[in-house]
Amino acid sequence: MPVKVLIVDDSGFFRHRIEEMLQDDPRLQVVGTAVNGREAVDQVKRLKPDVVTMDVEMPQMNGIEAVRIIMREAPTNVLMLSSLTHEGARVTLQALEAGAADYLPKDIRAWMDKNSGVRAQLIDRLVALGRTRRFRQSSVLERSWPGREQKGTTMVFRPDDTAPSRRPQTPARPSVTSTPRAASAETRRPAPAAAAPARPSVAGDPATTPASRVQFPDCKLVVIGASTGGPAALQKVLTQLPANYPYPVLLVQHMPKTFTQVFAERLNQQCQIRVREAEDGDRLEPGLALLAPGGLQMMLDPRQKDKVRILTGDERLTYKPSVDVTYASAAKTYGNKVLGVILTGMGSDGCDGARLLKQAGASMWAQNRDSCTIYGMPQAVVNAGLADAILELDDVGPLLAQRGLR
């Protein structure tokens, strides 16, 4: 059964262009179009699409408000389309806060160029989102909006009857263990996550590791990678870390340049730790998270391992920034003193780098299927037998905050 798509845009050109891009793919079926947010809400309720492409700026009701109503009244995965400007990045992040699952930049030149790769990106994301059946009714990021009550991320599930049924049988890896330090250094440590019962395996997936079985490993650097669903996931994790967090953190989120700058600024406002977009020569500091800039690669300086290098990198690499690149650099520089964390995202970026981390003796945590927007990147790590712990998203932040004091 094809994924049913609703196209929402006040531009007749873009509605036609999107429909044209999708019409020859048998995995997708355009079931309707809408010209504003109000019409989009009505069409979602009437047509019950699997996924919606949503423009941001529209008359009568904009895309952000439409997403908020859809996630409240008829939860459906939404792919936002927005400009590559600073303002476009800001409103796109607001849409992700409202519950949208993912986004694509709306660069008219790329959308008109048949060789730009936009069609393949659009189709891949619509197919993945249409099959996942996981929706965020209200994002944890909504807590940053003045006047809004604080809410945690809420996921809504429908039977995943269109997802691929072939899932490799891979046994769960042992959890990360360590011996905590004496309590004298624990004065300001956040409370550990509540113990949760192990979840049964689903269709061969390894069971989620109970938080009670996981302790922070002996490390000097935390490196976190994410893609689709990553902005909300990263915010949920990083807001759990205290201002006096004793480790530097490197963040790799698949985003274009303008978006990473705005995303870093928003995280810095929302978190107790400091967050900023990385620049060449930045030093690693406790309680500082450096976000890899879009379009570039972030590595550690082999001559001064407390500094990062921001480089163009290999042109053949699909992802810029790439989780693999940063993981590999961390493995080479810090060896077994790294904790790698892989969060929600399409594809398998991070798996090769995770393998190098494990070969160096480092530790690796992966987000579990149930809490991912798209279980692609974590699944690749888990299926390769590289995950020391498979965790609920809600457990990742509190476990990181335990800090493994010795």
Residues labelled as active-site residues: 227, 254, 349
CA 157 remoteness from chain centre: 18
- The phi and psi torsions of 180 (rounded to 5 degrees) equal -70, 155
How far apart, in whole angstroms, are the C-alpha atoms of residue 49 and residue 61? 20
User: Which amino acid is it at 74?
Assistant: A
Place of tokens 């050109």: 13
Distance (Å) of CA 139 to CA 67, 94, 113, 153, 212: 11, 10, 34, 5, 26
Answer whether 405's CB lies under 8 Å from 219's CB: no
How far apart, in whole angstroms, are the C-alpha atoms of residue 141 and residue 226? 16
At 225, is the secondary structure helix, strand, or coil?
A: strand
CB-side exposure of 80: number of CA atoms within 13 Å? 31
**Assigned token pair, 368:** 């579990």
Distance (Å) of CA 200 to CA 143, 175, 209, 369, 373: 32, 16, 10, 12, 20
